[in-house]
Amino acid sequence: MRVNELDLPDEAITALEECGYHTLHPPQEKAIPIALEGRNLVVAVPTASGKSLIGYTAALKTILEKKKKVLYIVPLKALASEKKDDMDRFAYLGFKTSLSIGDLDSDDRWLKDADFIVATSEKADSLIRHGSSIIDEIGLVIADEIHLIHDPSRGPTLEVTLTKIKRKRNDVQIIALSATITNANDLAMWLDAELVKMDWRPIPLHEGVYYDDEVTFEDGRSFDIEAGKDEIWALLEQSIQNGGQCIIFVNARRSTESLAVKYSPKMRKYAKRELSNEEISTIEGDSDTTSLGRKLSECIKDGMAFHNAGLTFKQRRYVEENFRNGNIKCIVATPTLAAGINLPARRVIVRDTKRFEANSGNTPISVMEIKQMCGRAGRPGYDPYGEAILIAKSYDDYENLMDNYVMCDTEAIMSKLGNETVLRNHILGLIATGDVSNIDDIVEFMRDTFYGSESSLYGIESAVENIVDFLCENKMVERRDDDILALPFGKRVSDLYIDPKSAVILRDAVEKMDEDTLDLPILHAVASTPDVLGLYPKKKDQDFLAATIREFEDDMLVDVPDDMDYSYEYFLSDLKTACLIQDWIGEMSEDVITDSFGIGPGDIRSRVDMMDWLLYAMSEIAVLFKPSVVKRLREMLTRVRYGIRSELIELVSMRGVGRARARSLYDHMVKTRDDIARIDVNALAAIPSIGNALAHKLKEEVGQKDDVYTSAPTSIEEDEELTATAGPKQSSLFDFN
């Protein structure tokens, strides 16, 4: 079937053809007519088989013909820009595309002019909670990578968001795009949707296992690897010599780095190149370089790279873009790279099929996750085939990998909504928005979820009662006869999109605070919330953490447990996070912090991100319970956001000035906006890291009113003019991989 045969406006067909779409793949040929008829649809097909076009064609019809908005929900922020860029190719037809992945405490009224909105599931749910009018104007919801509904951290929010949309707007079309899953029919039944499930791929994928100098594929074909060689390098080199690219998946960040460093010298003869000063600045971390950035830079010069959550957003994006354009021949990555990002290679090597889990030790990685990794093999338009090779360490391991991964179907996906910890936040949100008014309503809502469609809901009433009791005890809701009503504290917590348990910790800390409370106790209280990921206290950390407790014990806002108590280790984990942030706001360099805490720059950014949002939430809770400490908390918020001492607060309020530039200005006696007004523009430009362009912008800005405390944080990564040395602001409490 050809694109020009589709039931689309002529201008949409022309635009699609200009982008290179002429003939439909079999899954597209089957699914797109259903989508264009306005019916709900679940598409379960392999990676690289053209799922996105199915959603895009329906979006074009909805926007151009039905004059309705489209909400495109992605599970990861990294996917959002990719989808927006795809649809921007058609925006000349007269519609506007927008990203909504930032501030969760906003209804994003500016989206009223947008026709195609890309949002994370948390942001989509937040828009509903804030009563955004955008929801009433949507004609189509596209849920990308919906198989991630089984993910314990992201799945429940996506599930609740889709349930709310189904209940509020039963006239909205829903298209769910998924990798191949065993029980796709269950998803289709839940969404009252047609199902298109196929195994077709545009590039054949051969999956196999390496053992004893031989690779054997699922169809019985095999080839030998030179005996005595490092098997990973042998497989990698063979792919490069044949003109392909390679992705190697390992189970730990440290392994991504060590393997990339190990193979870089060997790769040099195939891909050595020089990097520009601008590239080096991006990779190594601008003015505040880190050892991890320098290590990455050296690898990239040789055509190798590593990719993990320890990297910053800019570093990860650089690696991805330069792999796509062929400058990087091989990426060594953790499994998160396989989660939806369009980054195919000719050969994928899966070294590790187990990962360490805190509660269960080395645990097998799911078949679905391995299949996601394997699915990255095969570049449409570049490769005639894709190869995914798992590495066996023994014959028994070979048989296990072949039987339980290569020849095995993926597991059935299951809802992760059915526990009190997950439900606590969502039940408060339902009460606060008036979607439910009593226990029966909450249970009825649960029946409409994917969880309700696949289970008997046994014990759910008891779980709901426990959660409502907790919310009542903490004055977030109140019972009036059989009805449950949100109180101001509960409504604010719902809008802030934080765990109600976090809100209780923050409220109790606020009530103990005064204007002279020290930095560390405040930071520790925020780090103690369930929404902030702690840092595991290693043996070498024990002495400095114990010394910190002795120094601040009388000032802490959260009680110090007995060192024999089971919760003591969690306390130390939270304290270590607080100490990291204290070093950050003390303007310690990222390089020193990463070395001291044994983490990557991306870990600093993720903790800064989370602490930023929770400090904002704490300041908003203080408005309700202790307004006298709001100013203190908002000053702390600005310091955490930018990583500065208090004397730089005024300077970082200016656009384009982060921690490094603010310190440079201050050290050259430019300490306030008035100082910027008085100094000659040429003298200002001569200050290190300022330059002529920024100097003129700062002079223009002087005199404009700018209160750094008035608004919720937005993503620093979305503000290209801000220095990369400042940490990224909050975008999603669930988006730190």
Residue 525 confidence (pLDDT) above 50: yes
Say what the pLDDT of residue 78 is.
75
What is the C-alpha separation between 667 and 677, in angstroms, rounded? 17
Q: Is the pLDDT of residue 710 over 50?
A: no
pLDDT in tens, 6-16: 999 999 999 99
731 has pLDDT over 80: no
Q: How do residues 292-308 score in pLDDT, each as one tens digit? A: 899 999 999 999 999 99
- The answer to whether 659 and 605 are in contact (CB under 8 A) is no
Cβ distance 18 to 10 under 8 Å?
A: no
339: left (phi over 0), alpha (psi -120 to 50) or beta: beta
- Tokens 């936040």, residue located: 425
Note the pLDDT tens digit of each residue in 601-652: 888 988 999 999 999 999 999 999 999 999 999 999 999 999 999 999 999 9
Query: Domain 421-497 adopts which CATH fold?
Result: Arc Repressor Mutant, subunit A (1.10.10)
- The CATH fold of domain 500-648: Sec63 N-terminal domain-like fold (1.10.3380)
Q: Are 647 and 669 in contact (CB under 8 A)?
A: no
Q: What is the pLDDT of residue 565?
A: 85
Tally of CB atoms within 10 A around 473: 10
Which helix (H) or strand (E) segment holds residue 364: the answer is: strand 361-364
- Res. 725 pLDDT band, cuts 50 70 90: very low
Contact between residue 105 and residue 729 where contact means Cβ atoms under 8 Å apart: no
User: What CA–CA distance (Å, rounded) separates 465 from 384?
Assistant: 57
The yes-or-no verdict on residue 660 having pLDDT over 80 is yes
As beta bridge partners, residue 337 has none
- CB under 8 A, 24+ apart: contacts of 433-441: 433/128, 433/129, 433/131, 433/494, 435/164, 435/167, 436/484, 437/483, 437/484, 437/485, 438/482, 438/483, 438/484, 439/464, 439/465, 439/468, 439/482, 439/484
Task: pLDDT band for 564, please (50, 70, 90 cuts).
Answer: confident
Angle value at C-alpha 54, between 52 and 56, nearest 5 degrees: 70
What integer best gives the mean pLDDT of the chain? 89
pLDDT classification of 287: cutoffs 50, 70, 90: low
| Burial of 73 per CB tally in 10 Å (0-12, 13-18, 19+) | buried
Q: How far apart are CA 484 and CA 500, in angstroms?
A: 16
pLDDT computed for residue 198 by the predictor: 93
Domain ranges of the chain: 3-197, 205-406, 421-497, 500-648
Tell me what pLDDT residue 709 has: 38
CA dist., res. 15 & res. 19, Å (int): 6
Q: What was the pLDDT predicted at 402?
A: 96
Query: Is the pLDDT confidence value at 462 over 70?
Result: yes
Can you tell me the distance from the alpha carbon of 373 to that of 47, in angstroms, rounded to the nearest whole number?
Answer: 10
The pLDDT-based confidence of 340 (bands split at 50, 70, 90) is low
Strands 214-217 and 330-333 turn out to be unpaired
Q: How far, in Å, CA of 293 to CA of 315, rounded?
A: 8
Q: Is the distance from CB of 280 to CB of 297 less than 8 angstroms?
A: yes
Contacts of 368 (CB under 8 A, 6+ apart): 147, 150, 179, 181, 410, 411, 413
When mean pLDDT is compared over 105-114, 452-461, 481-490, the highest value belongs to: 481-490
Query: Which pair of structure tokens corresponds to residue 707?
Result: 């209160």
Q: Does domain 3-197 have CATH number 3.40.50.300?
A: yes
pLDDT at 737 over 60: no
Question: What order of strands is seen across the sheet that includes strand 97-100?
Answer: 97-100, 116-120, 69-74, 138-143, 173-178, 41-44, 194-197
Q: What confidence tens digit (pLDDT) does each residue in 400-441 have?
A: 999 999 999 888 999 999 888 889 999 999 999 999 999 999
DSSP secondary structure code for residue 541 in this structure = G
Q: Which two tokens stand for residue 254?
A: 């440290």
| pLDDT 10s digits, 694-709 | 999 999 998 644 344 3
Q: Which residues pair with 361 in a beta bridge?
A: 357
How big is the chain, counted in residues?
737
Mean pLDDT, residues 453-471 taken together: 93
Residue 455, Cβ density class (10 Å: 0-12 exposed, 13-18 middle, ≥19 buried) = middle
Which stretches within 26-154 are classed as H helix?
26-36, 51-64, 77-88, 121-129
Give the range among 188-202, 560-574, 614-628 with minimum mean pLDDT: 560-574
For residues 468 and 649, what is the distance between their CA atoms, to the nearest angstrom? 41
- Give the mean pLDDT of 390-397: 96
Domains 421-497 and 500-648 share a fold: no
Does residue 280 surpass a pLDDT of 70?
yes
pLDDT of 708 reads: 41
Residue 496 contacts residue 504 (beta carbons within 8 Å): no
pLDDT number for residue 563: 81
Distance between alpha carbon 588 and the CA centroid of its chain, in Å? 26
Across-strand partners of 99?
A: 118
- For residues 330 and 263, the answer to whether their CB atoms sit within 8 Å is yes
Sort 600 into a burial class: Cβ within 10 Å, 0-12 / 13-18 / 19+: buried
pLDDT, average across residues 75-98: 89
The CATH class that applies to domain 205-406 reads alpha beta
The owner of tokens 């360099």 is 589
- The burial class, CB within 10 Å (0-12 / 13-18 / 19+), for 307 is buried
Tell me the pLDDT tens digit for each residue of 667-684: 999 999 999 999 999 999
CA distance 432 to 425: 11
Residue 379: closest CA among 349, 342, 345: 345
Q: Over 80: is that where the pLDDT of 444 sits?
A: yes
Alpha-carbon distance of 681 to 320, in angstroms, equals: 39
The pLDDT tens digits for 122-167 are 999 999 988 888 889 999 999 999 999 998 888 999 999 999 999 9
